[in-house]
Amino acid sequence: MHYSTNGDAAACGRTGNNLSLSALEAEVDCKSCQRSLSRVEAAPAKKAPSLAELRKQRQASLEQAKAAAFCFKANWRVRLAARPDRCRLPRGMAPQAFV
């Protein structure tokens, strides 16, 4: 007996009017149909990530690292806290760096 869900063709690929078909797995005698059933039952192995997925992950990690590497606001707060006086405005002239 062959395995078939639709009643037209067997899982092993055989077709014909004289095939005995069954939708119950316990009644299947054809070795090819049984092999195709065991392939369906066996879960596929964990799929390896595609190159596009790996590239996206790498770009995201690089952007996070770049963003975390230097923060202008935090750097400016540190520089202001390190100043002995309350000068806040930067100047372009060398002798007077801050107002």
Strands 21-22 and 2-3: parallel
pTM for this predicted structure? 0.37
Cα–Cα distance between 20 and 65 in angstroms, integer?
Answer: 64
pLDDT score, position 56: 94
Cα–Cα distance between 87 and 99 in angstroms, integer?
Answer: 5
Listed by start position, the domains of the chain span: 2-41, 51-82
Cα–Cα distance between 79 and 88 in angstroms, integer?
Answer: 10
pLDDT in tens, the chain (99 residues): 877 777 777 778 777 777 778 777 788 888 888 887 776 655 566 788 889 999 999 999 888 877 666 778 888 888 877 877 666 666 665 665 555
pLDDT score, position 59: 92
pLDDT score, position 87: 63
